[in-house]
Structure 1
Amino acid sequence: MVQNTDYKKLIATTLTKMEVMQARITELETRQKEPIAVVGMGCRFPGGITSPEEYWNYCQAGLDAITEVPKSRWDSSKFYTKEPTIGKINTHYGGFLQQDITEFDARFFSISSREATSMDPQQRLLLEVTWEALENANLPPNNLADHTVGVFVGITSVDNAITVYNSSYDQIDSFFGTGNALSAAAGRLSYFFNLRGPCLSIDAACASSLVAVHQAIRSLRNRECELALVAGVNLILNPAITINLSQSGMLSPDGRCKTFDASANGYGRGEGCGVLVLKTLSEAQKKGDRILAILRGSAVNHNGAAAGLTVPSGPAQQELLRQAIADARITPEDVGYIEAHGTGTSLGDPIEMNAIASVYGKRSQPLYVGSVKTNIGHLEAAAGMAGIIKTILVLQQGEIPAHLH
């Protein structure tokens, strides 16, 4: 009888532990699919755009931000050519910031004037727009040290370092390394705001800022951080990379992305910076934050051995869309608008549109597709931020701005 009682206690204890374990597994599985809230955002884009409000007004008005290359970047007359020529560029247009990128309040960010001079302007822009995004989120920047905050920055351009190399090695001082290393772009934010969570600079070419968002979502779901700052930044400071892109046949002569149009003949380069402030939806609701939008799912993959290193793969894009839909726990029919990559190339656009049609095509309601690149150009590492912020504004306003060209 004693043994039977012991067995019953053992079984009861085991069942209790199994119930606890099952509850824990369910909690972890739920956490891995938890929606993420956007609680703040800031931006600087071509066309003189310095805020999300100005961005919406610009898109709604159907304006075109493409201009000639500013003299402050380079003398385009020395590089422009209509005919393919080594060392030359087939366009003298692009989407450039109207603000003077040399202006920076170094004292405000506790940086000496000497160090600020050696910093890549992209780092300075990140500091400014991140501050603005935190203000937009009603989060006092000076109080972030009390929380575990992650920083995820999409960045690829090394134009500033190239400019220094091309001018004089005498300009390389003790601040050059931290001022120009891509890894320091994220580190600069963590250092200034005294943040101790994950800190990553991500170079995934034109997908950089979207991959940064994906990594931030995973970090928040895994409780590696309770708040995430996600950014994308891109500045065009000298002609070197533009020469390379022109020689590769990627650029449109008129500098405009004619997305999904029969006249598409390449993309127009653009620059800018966008920052999102993210929390898990449950945390944002608990804190009473203003929720601008909800990110329900994300996915990331690679083409593998496709037709070429930079050639898009239709099957890979289709699989990516399906993975994102599954992660969001929705169906294709639930999606009413897609802010596409849509660079305006005769190779990439059809592949992307075919992938969209394959995944979303069977539906009873219309699916609207657009790309803000037709307004402001392709911001490369910051393009994802421009697309996400536009989509948030579309959801808020209940209106889809006109697609240009």
Structure 2
Amino acid sequence: MPGVGSGAVSDGIVDAIAVVGLACRLPQAPDPSAFWRLLREGTDAITETPPERRSPAAPADRVRRGGFLDHPDRFDAGFFRISPREAAAMDPQQRLMLELGWEALEDAGIVPDRAAAGRTGVYLGAFSDDYATLFHRSPIEAGEHTLTGLSRGIVANRISYVLGLGGPSLVVDTGQSSSLVAVHLACQSLRRGEADLALAGGVNLILAPESSEATEKFGALSPDGRCFTFDHRANGYVRGEGGGMVVLKPYAAARADGDHVYCLIRGSAVNNDGPGPGLTTPTTRGQQEALRRACADAGVRPSDLQYVELHGTGTRVGDPIEARSVGTVLGTARPADSPLSVGSAKTNVGHLEAAAGIVGLIKTALAIEHGVLPATLNFERPHPDIPLDDLNLRVQTTLGPWPDRHRPRIAGVNSFGMGGTNCHVVLAEPPGGPVGRRDAEPPEEPADVRPPVLPPVLPSVLPWLLSARTAPALRAQAERLRTHLADHPELRPVDVAYALATSRAALEHRAVVISPGGTGEAARGLRLLAADEPSADVVRGVVAGGKCAFLFAGQGAQRV
């Protein structure tokens, strides 16, 4: 596609990369809505290590802290038509990312069958092999699924295989910058035309005590069990686990398809520190170069960035180097009375290592969409080696509005790995602002892009269509939708009905919730469906052999 990725403000915005879908599973945040609520409320999701994850050899008075998922072992194998035997052999990182790939496509309004029809690529960051460690120390013998189940590359390939995606499929390992580098590579593939749609993200699960012990002996972990980003108490980081995924497509295609756009990826850059004081010691030289190149690729001035989501681990060496780099390139480029706001989600959920960059990107995308900057926790006063005033930086310590309401929202996401690989991504709101923003003028329509035309007549009684592989899953789907409606009271019934009818896969167990009024009446039907109670406004059925075998409403049944 000519001009894709040029990044120029005047003529490159339509060719930027759009973030059209999100999915995540993070500590105390099973989805993006819950993650945004956690950020807005300033929740600290760091807890003691669950008993089942502790090393039997660890002293009783020494319990590590971290950001943990509640049930990383749970997986709906039947939904993906994977046998129990094969599912048991699969690294839970494969299982989690398979679920997040499906959820991200659903959030983007893309039925997986449609993604399979084109060239959809999968680009994931991962470096943990904890499940392999557990397997090799167990008495279980290798079986027919062991090789693929423990292979790191299959984390991405499994998604491509199960969902039938024919684009590039690869796993990136650049240490802690892996997932953000994966996003960079996905954008490059979209710009070159190797893919027309991309899933990009990363995963990190803390399953074997040995990995935490190695990290602690390396000197990276905070004995206080907190990430004190840029703070005087910075003494290491606390580990976190989970995964995140975004759906990417060229902005011109997103506009033509009428997609909801969370934000745009205007540009990005990747490099390595090269020689320095040590293999794992970052350098200001390398980080500053990555920041400058990312701004150039995005076609923005360093002074245009209003917020940076930091790598911000809270380490004694890394924080001052990152602060000097960000301050020198971006902070001092701004007016002295308008410091650059910075923050880090690691203070909320811990350092997700290979998945850290995608967590920062999802946080920043949501902040751009809502026009709100969440607070960074655990900050009292600056680290003695971080002169915030001289660097023109300000740690975002409260929930507050976007710094400048009169300029387009532009932000950076920074990440670097222990081997010296740096990555910086520049995000921006789409022309006219994200959905829901009231302080922007309507965007000017590009000559070759038009939004879809919706039917002029809308029915007064709306059917809400749901489907799942099994009856229990159908009830769970109804409960999730009911929760989503409670979190988003602004949704119109017609929009919900349209999305359910056009952007969800049609699976075997189906239900229709009749909504004669607003979302309140529909929510009642969803509650009854979730509880498996009869209702005249809920019709349920099972599809067998391509035909609906029966439908029943209330307590009656009718063959069709």
> Residue 65 and residue 30 in structure 1: after superposition, are their counterparts in 2 closer, same or farther (change >3 A)?
closer
**Separation in structure 2 between the aligned mates of residue 302 and residue 80 of structure 1, nearest angstrom:** 39
Amino acid aligned to 1:234: N
Same amino acid, percent of matched pairs: 48
Give the TM-score taking structure 1 as reference length: 0.88
Aligned with residue 92 of structure 2, among 112, 121, 125: 121
- Partner residue, 1:59: 39
Instruction: Work out which of the residue numbers 73, 76, 83 in structure 2 matches 1:105.
Output: 76
Distance in 2, matches of 1:80 and 1:65, equals 24
| Conservation of the 8 A alpha-carbon contact between 1:314 and 1:352 | yes
Does 2:18 align with 1:37?
yes
Shift of 1:143: 2.3
Indicate yes or no: 2:368 matched with 1:395. Answer: yes
More strand by share: 2
SS of equivalent to 2:271: coil
- Distance in 2 (CA, whole Å) between partners of 1:129 and 1:399 is 25
| Structure 1 residue aligned with 2:192 | 222
The correspondence of residues 65-104 of structure 1 with structure 2, limited to 5 A, is 65-75=45-55, 78-80=57-59, 92-98=64-70, 100-104=71-75
Aligned to 2:317: 347
Amino acid at match of 1:374: T
Q: Is 1:372 aligned with 2:345?
A: yes
Shift of 1:286: 1.2
Which residue number corresponds to residue 430 of structure 2? Answer: none
Counterpart residue identity of residue 261, structure 2: I
Q: Which of structures 1 and 2 has the larger relative contact order (alpha carbons within 8 angstroms, sep 6+)?
A: 1
Question: Which residue in the other structure is 2:442 paired with?
Answer: none
Aligned equivalent of 1:381: 354
Residue in 2 that maps onto 1:298 = 268
Task: Give CA deviations for 1:318-375 in whole Å, capped at 9, x if unaligned.
Answer: 0000000000000011100000000000100000000011101131233100000001
Letter in 1 for 2:178: S
2:153 equivalent among 183, 189, 214: 183
Determine if contact 1:32/1:221 at 8 Å carries over to the other structure.
no
Alignment-mate amino acid for residue 210 of structure 2: A
Residue 106 of structure 2 aligns with an amino acid whose one-letter code is E
String of CA shifts for 1:358-395, please: whole Å, max 9, x gaps: 10113123310000000100000111111000001111
Range with greater deviation from structure 2 (218-227 or 237-246): 237-246
- Give the corresponding residue for 2:424: none
2-structure distance, mates of 1:310, 1:110? 42
**What is the DSSP-based 3-state SS (H/G/I as helix, E as strand, rest coil) of the residue aligned with 1:174?**
coil
Q: Structure 2: any 5+ residue segments left out of the alignment?
A: 8-14, 379-560
8 Å CA contact retained: 1:151, 1:229: yes
Cα-to-partner distance string for 1:172-206 (whole Å, 9 max, x where unaligned): 21101111111111100000010111111111110
Query: How much does 1:295 deviate?
Result: 0.4
Contact 1:32 1:222 in 2 (8 A): no
Do residues 251 (structure 1) and 221 (structure 2) align? yes
**Contact map agreement 1:325 1:331 (CA 8 A) in 2:** yes
Alpha-carbon displacement from aligned partner over 1:221-268 (angstroms, at most 9, x marks no partner): 000000000020000001111111111111001221110000000000
Q: Please, what TM-score do these two structures have when normalized by structure 2?
A: 0.64
Kept after mapping to 1: 8 A contact 2:6/2:298: no
Q: 1:367/1:30 Cα in 2 relative to 1: closer, same or farther (>3 Å)?
A: same
State the number of aligned residues: 368
The AA in structure 2 aligned to 1:375 is N
Give the Cα separation in 2 of the matches to 1:171 and 1:212: 34
Q: Secondary structure at the match of 1:171?
A: coil
Q: Cα distance 1:29–1:132, how it changes in 2: closer, same or farther (>3 A)?
A: closer
CA deviations 1:44-90 (Å, max 9, x no partner) are: 0012x111111011011111111111122224x732599xxxxxxx7
What amino acid is aligned across from residue 68 of structure 1 in structure 2?
E
RMSD of aligned Cα (Å): 1.4
Contact kept? 1:59, 1:402, Cα under 8 Å: yes
In 2, Cα distance between the equivalents of 1:375 and 1:171? 39
- Separation (CA, whole Å) in 2 of partners of 1:167 and 1:36: 45
Q: CA deviation at 1:32?
A: 4.7
Corresponding residue number in structure 2 for 1:24 = none
Higher helix share: 1
Confirm or deny: 8 A CA contact 2:104 2:246 kept in the other structure. Answer: yes
8 Å CA contact retained: 1:155, 1:234: yes
2:288 to 318, 325, 349: 318
Query: Is 1:160 the equivalent of 2:134?
Result: no
